[in-house]
Structure 1
Amino acid sequence: MKRVLAIALAVSTLLAAGLVSARDDGRYAHSPLKAWFDGLRSNRGLCCSDADGVVVSDPDWDSKDGHYRVRLDGEWIDVPDDAVIKEPNRAGRTMVWPIQSALGKSIRCFLPGTMS
């Protein structure tokens, strides 16, 4: 029984560790927007940084009836309303912070840009 509990604990720990993977490797350390990106948050929590976000081209996001969706890896994903960042977009470009887990891909933060 103890062995089953130990295995279950190990598996759940590995799954939890796979939920978020930050990759701020310092390449944006001198960006004038670094502090802004580091503090950027949706109602789901901190977005982490510019290095963790993915720039989304205009054809790969849209809005319908006040809700957003993005295309990542060829798949359209609905953006939860609480993942949308409400403050003005200082970077100008549309960005999304996806999270890949054992349950699939979800969106932690979405920063709409201007479709131009």
Structure 2
Amino acid sequence: MEQRNTEQWYAIKFFVKLVDSVKETYGKLVKVLGDEALSHAEVFRWHKDFKNGRESVGDEPRSGRPVETRTDNNLCAKMVPKNISAKQKHERMSISQDCLEQVEADPALLDRVITGDESWYFQYDPETKR
């Protein structure tokens, strides 16, 4: 994706040097690339930047924290501690599968349980032995 954008940015820069309008530039990109062409707004922005004297092609360095993306892999990496044994990991997996089966068998089960951190609190007071 990045390479395709870079190629289009060079093309836009070339069309600006030929004194093509934004409309002509966008039309040529769409004619050649079809759906793969940059959006009209992006072509307009890059055309304007090159027309105003920008020489570099590519994104400017950004300040601040980079955007984080959640994936199944990095989410699971946080949920499973690295310092537990294979047997403990297997046991956690087994317990999780059992819980999932119970919830699938009785969807109202979770309506009767309140969770907080790793502790379970029931909505009723269990009877105590005195």
- TM bucket by the smaller chain? under 0.3
User: Structure 2 length as normaliser, TM-score?
Assistant: 0.21
Q: Which has the higher helix share?
A: 2
Bigger RCO of structures 1 and 2 (CA < 8 A, at least 6 apart): 1
User: Structure 1 length as normaliser, TM-score?
Assistant: 0.22
Whichever of the two has the greater Rg, that structure is 2
Q: Which has the higher strand share?
A: 1
